[in-house]
Structure 1
Amino acid sequence: MTVSTLLQRRHKVLGDQSPLFYDEPLHLVRGEGVWLYDINGKRYLDVYNNVPSVGHCHPHVVAALSNQAAKLNIHTRYLDEGIVAYAERLTATFADPLDAVMFTCTGSEANELALRIARFASGGHGVIVSDYNYHGNSTSLAEVTTALPAPEPFGRHARAVPIPNLYHAKQGVSADQLAEEYAAKVAGAIASLKADGIKPAALLIDTLFANEGLPRLPAGFVDKAVALIREAGGLFIADEVQAGFARTGEHLWGHQAHKVVPDIVTLGKPMGNGHPLAGLVSSRELIESFGRNAMYFNTFGGSPVAAAVGMAVLDVIENEQLLANAHQVGAHVHTRLQKLAEKHAIIGDVRGKGLFFAMELVRDRASKEPAGAEARIIVNTMRENGVLISKIGPADNILKLRPPLVFSIANADLFVDTLDHVLSRL
């Protein structure tokens, strides 16, 4: 089966707008750890996918899935000890008052449900998001999305605020001044909603701002923004789909880097290592209050198989010390990328936490003109050289680097050496 033939068949049944990575689509047939293999047996180092967070086809996760699937798989309207045990273990990783969970299948469902709860609890409808965001593909979420095109217009009930980035700060502006300046933009968004007769319900953000390219934030900005939304009667929803499950190497959850506990935390992708498992964590009081007024049920969310998979993912994170690995290997990657930036002028900024990095590419370091076309060439050339990465940002000029958490020092060196090789031949 050639790539061209399979692509034609795909277009006939999925449509030609179903997105694919790379100029030449990649036909993968197998995965193991940090490696992916194509139809011809070529091996690729995965430096992009956070869905298989503990590694592609991890044996412990696969065994948990198959063993439970061979015993029982039903929904949560029946008692099941595995579901309860997983919920207990998951919620124990959060600070008070986050002590209860609602399961879904996808991050979109989790964020949609979080908005419903926030609107119920606040009595408001307005939503504040960042100005280059993606939180899911339901109608409600499409109406507040700013990073992807959608036929739904940006909602009258929504406001998008820019996020501070120390790399792009004006010369002479301190970090404290930048935090205050951008917090004032959140205050302005709240005032704008109120001026239109719309009560704020939620601030919905990824605390790493991954889609924006992991900007280096001034300390205190998120805390100030959260204080403002709560003062206005709204709730803080932290989207941990990209930031969570030990990704940052410092904390299990991305929001723990800030001095604030969310009202609702949404979870997805890495939660099931590729199995459709997602959900939200909040206070039992808030979840029960919502449940008394809106019966929530998800046929496949939090099934016995999903719970077994989720438990296995937590086992691997703990037993293989992947939080510490993300910290150690991430520090090594950061050091090597900084040295690479000294060699290649196209690298304007290197930033990130743990095993999550962004490299902003520029044509000129003084003007910081985005090097979007160059980023595309680099991503595709890296793929030709057996390393998979991607790109993000409003100008598509930020390399997005987010490997499975089992990434090793040797894997990191192979990645950086390959990137050095590709950059040298631009």
Structure 2
Amino acid sequence: MATRSTIMDTNSFRAEHADGLDAATRKLTDKRSKVLGESYRLFYRKPVHLVRGEGQYVWDAAGDKYLDVYNNVASIGHCHPAVIEAVNQQMKMLNTHTRYLHERILDYTEELLATTPDAIDRAMYMCTGSEANDLAIRVARAFSGGTGIIVSQEAYHGTSDLTSGVSPALGSGQPLAATTRLVSPPAAYRVNAPDLGEWFANEIQKQIDDMKAHGIKFAGFLADSIFSSDGVLPNPRGFLQKAVDVVHANGGIFIADEVQPGFGRTGDAFWGFARHGVVPDVITTGKPMGNGIPVSGLLAKSDVLAAFSDEIPYFNTFGGNPVAMAAAQAVLTVTKEEGLQEHSRVVGAKLLGELQKLMDRHDSIGDVRGAGLFIGFELVQDRASKAPDKTLALDLIEKLREHRVLTSVAGPYGNVLKLRPPLAFQEADIDWLVGALDKSLSELGR
């Protein structure tokens, strides 16, 4: 297994880049450092100062227009009018917590649960994906009686104490919990196995056995079903089934972190896990749920949730508030009425095909893979060795920025571009993105 990387810091502005900035940008970065401290990170060696967004586009302070190929927060598009209107109208009426009766949270929950497998019949609400995953870990421990959590090698599941302890993507400066175990990512491009599903299930079992050898009882497996932080690993469809079977056979639960693959993004299904034909015990979601309004959720099988909820009251002041529910309802309605899941499938397939054609022009592209509007673009030193080329990946995203395309990197080696635009991305945008990649690679001599 590779050593833990620091993907969260690789595409970052650092102090040594400051001398190359114009005066206005330098003033903002200096002020940011002074008042916000050093934990915050900015993308790019020359940070982008954004002031406006619409659909799949954003504009900087100079008026330059960019194609956003990274943002799943504004999942249905920046500043979507339906979300703006819904939030505005609810703000005029009432915003309070869930200890009073209110129809919005109930109506929304019924519609949201209708998108999940029948066994998933309960919902709870928070504000962030970190909170949702934090609660999911607590539920797993209550149900199983264990504490051990398995995640993938480069997983990112949040920033709370519990979730940072299961988020190796935060880097070696953030210690993992003693009860956390890492499993090698199911990378079809790099794993030489006739059956990736069986191989991955065996990797899960090895970590469960290691827990047992150290006196740790297994509680659950927490995974983003497209393994986005591990470099976007969508295929083959169905490979997760055997791993989930192993999890259940050992008394644990499967928590599907759908913050990134959920809400129609993969095109094949509304939820990312559904591509694998599995039924999670718990589903967590966040960012795309409210299109920028802080709202997150935990959906679960009632018997799994009961082990926690029957014993421990849970209250989140802002979780499930009427304004957040209004935003979430608007997102769900737009996703259905505008056919965004099918749109993601069709446009994503066309984009994937055009990106794969670039492999004929650039030997530095090792693999292009994806599902819907979620694509991994892997860069290598040469195709024979598949040696990762992190330097090229970082230089490439800087070049793309010059061509007004915004994205970032992922994977344990930091060599995979994570192409994940808002679902407002259109077929007409493909030429901009593919053309920018082609030009940028040529300019870099690769």
TM-score range, shorter chain: over 0.9
Instruction: Output the amino acid matched with 1:115.
Output: I
Distance between the aligned counterparts of 1:216 and 1:63, measured in 2?
Answer: 35
Q: Confirm or deny that 1:96 pairs with 2:96.
A: no
**Residue in 1 that maps onto 2:406:** 388
Measure how far apart 1:150 and its partner are.
5.5
Segment drifting more, 290-299 vs 346-355? 290-299
Q: In terms of mean alpha carbon deviation, does 145-154 or 27-36 score higher?
A: 145-154
Partner of 1:187: 205
Deviations 1:165-191 (A, max 9, x none): 221133xx42x2x43233212111111
Deviations, residues 359-416 of structure 1 (Å, cap 9, x unaligned): 1001111011111111111101111111111111122110110001011110122111
In the alignment, what sits opposite 2:29? Answer: 7
Give TM-score scaled by structure 1 length. Answer: 0.96
1:31 matched to 2:53? The reply is yes
Query: For 2:310, what is the secondary structure of its paired residue?
Result: helix
User: Is 1:162–2:184 an aligned residue pair?
Assistant: yes
Shift of residue 158, structure 1, vs aligned partner: 1.6
Give the Cα separation in 1 of the matches to 2:373 and 2:168.
26
Partner of 1:324: 342
Aligned counterpart for 2:292 among listed residues 249, 269, 274: 274
> What is the DSSP-based 3-state SS (H/G/I as helix, E as strand, rest coil) of the residue aligned with 1:369?
coil
Amino acid across the alignment from 2:302: R
Task: Give the one of 395, 401, 404 matched to 1:377.
Answer: 395
Match of 1:236 among 245, 254, 265: 254
Matched, 1:67 2:89: yes
Segments of structure 1 that go 5 or more residues without pairing to the other structure are none
Residue matched to 1:263: 281
Task: Give the SS at the match of 2:441.
Answer: helix
| 1:106/1:328 CA distance change after superposition, 3 Å | same
Matching residue's letter, 1:98: I
Whole-Å separation in 2 of the counterparts to 1:125 and 1:17: 29
Look up the SS of the partner of 1:167 in the other structure.
coil
1:143 and 2:154 are equivalent in the alignment: no
Letter in 1 for 2:274: Q
- In structure 2, stretches of 5+ residues that fail to align are 1-22
Residues of 2 paired with 1:191 and 1:419: CA distance? 44
Q: Which amino acid aligns with 1:191?
A: D
* Farther off after superposition, 13-22 or 64-73: 13-22
Q: Which moved more, 1:379-388 or 1:210-219?
A: 210-219
Cα distance per residue 1:130-151 (max 9 Å; x no partner): 1111100111122222222265
Code of the residue aligned with 1:373 in structure 2: it is T
Q: Which amino acid aligns with 2:118?
A: D
* Residues 281-292 of structure 1: pairs in structure 2 closer than 5 A: 281-292=299-310
2:134 to 92, 102, 112: 112
Cα RMSD, aligned residues only: 1.4
Query: For residues 249 and 179 of structure 1, what CA distance do their matches in structure 2 show?
Result: 22
Normalised TM-score (structure 2): 0.92
**Displacement of 1:17 after TM fit?**
3.5
3-state SS of the aligned residue for 1:165? coil
Letter in 2 for 1:102: M
Matches within 5 A, 1:339-358: 339-358=357-376
- Equivalent residue for 1:415, pick from 423, 433, 445: 433
Q: Does the CA contact (< 8 Å) of 1:46 and 1:404 recur in 2?
A: yes
Size of the aligned set, in residue pairs, is 422
Letter in 2 for 1:274: G
Separation of aligned partners in 2, 1:407 and 1:113: 33
Whole-angstrom CA distance in 2 between matches of 1:217 and 1:246: 17
Do structure 1's residue 53 and structure 2's residue 75 form an aligned pair?
Answer: yes
Point out the more displaced range, 15-24 or 249-258. 15-24
Q: Which residue of 2 aligns with 1:125?
A: 147
Alignment-mate amino acid for residue 228 of structure 1: V
Query: How many Å separate the matches in 1 of 2:248 and 2:198?
Result: 17
Contact 2:52 2:59 in 1 (8 A): yes
Q: Secondary structure at the match of 2:269?
A: coil
CA contact (8 A) 1:139 1:152 kept: no
Give yes or no for the alignment of 1:79 onto 2:106. Answer: no
Find the aligned partners of 1:314 and 1:423 in 2 and give their Cα distance: 38
Q: What does residue 210 of structure 1 align with?
A: 228
Q: Residues 289 and 191 of structure 1: is their aligned pair in 2 closer, same or farther, counting only changes over 3 Å?
A: closer
Q: Over residues 55-99 of structure 1, what are the superposed CA-to-partner deviations in whole Å (9 max), with x where a residue is unaligned?
A: 000001001011101110000000001111111111111012101
